[in-house]
Chains A and B, each alone.
Chain A
Amino acid sequence: SQQGEEDPQALSIQEGENATMNCSYKTSINNLQWYRQNSGRGLVHLILIRSNEREKHSGRLRVTLDTSKKSSSLLITASRAADTASYFCATDDGNNRLAFGKGNQVVVIP
């Protein structure tokens, strides 16, 4: 099954800066999704990008997908303290079974 792997694992930035996270996977996918998890809470869906899409935006989030390199990136622009969380990528091979990466912990310092 696919295994998303994010890079880097932990990121500490100042409020207002941009944060970029990368994710790689191993096999073909139907879509790739990014989720956020605040401490002790569930996973919140952020954005879904289909395998035939290259870039997608949602508010301050920008996701890219390069299927030839089997990689995706999540950019959070103008970060806020409330963006402090763990961010996970997850791949869907078309069977609705998401395969998650280990997650990136992002700390935004006010």
Chain B
Amino acid sequence: EPEVTQTPSHQVTQMGQEVILRCVPISNHLYFYWYRQILGQKVEFLVSFYNNEISEKSEIFDDQFSVERPDGSNFTLKIRSTKLEDSAMYFCASSPGQGNQPQHFGDGTRLSIL
């Protein structure tokens, strides 16, 4: 069964450094998402992406964050200057369309900011 893959599984970065989290969504899916889960807290929506542009973003997704689909398969989340509070699990998801479609999640990248 096709699945969403994320790399790396764990990223350790110094505060202030840039980090790029990578995702390969399911190949025939058109919508892509990033969520994060701070330890002990709820999974929170960050951003959705369709047709090479952001379709929705949350208040968390400020100017420090950006997303890109650099080629036909990858979907990336960049955090420009990481803060301690960016430490979390970051999940990528994709769905075939919008409206009553399940989202398929990757296993996540654990980001630890030192």
Contacts and interface: CB of A to CB of B under 8 A. Distances in A.
B44 A45 contact: no
Contacts of B35: 98, 100
A33 interface: yes
A97 B91 contact: no
Contacts of B4: 42
B42 A31 contact: no
Contacts of A40: 107
Interface string B4-43: 1010000000000000000000000001010100000111
A97 B105 contact: no
Interface in A62-110: 88, 90, 92, 94-103
A47 B56 CA distance: 23
Q: In the complex, which of the residues A45, A97, A100, A102 has the most CB atoms of chain B within 10 Å of its own CB atom?
A: A97
- Top 10 closest pairs, chain A to chain B, by CB: A100-B43, A42-B105, A45-B102, A42-B107, A43-B105, A97-B45, A96-B98, A100-B42, A42-B106, A31-B100
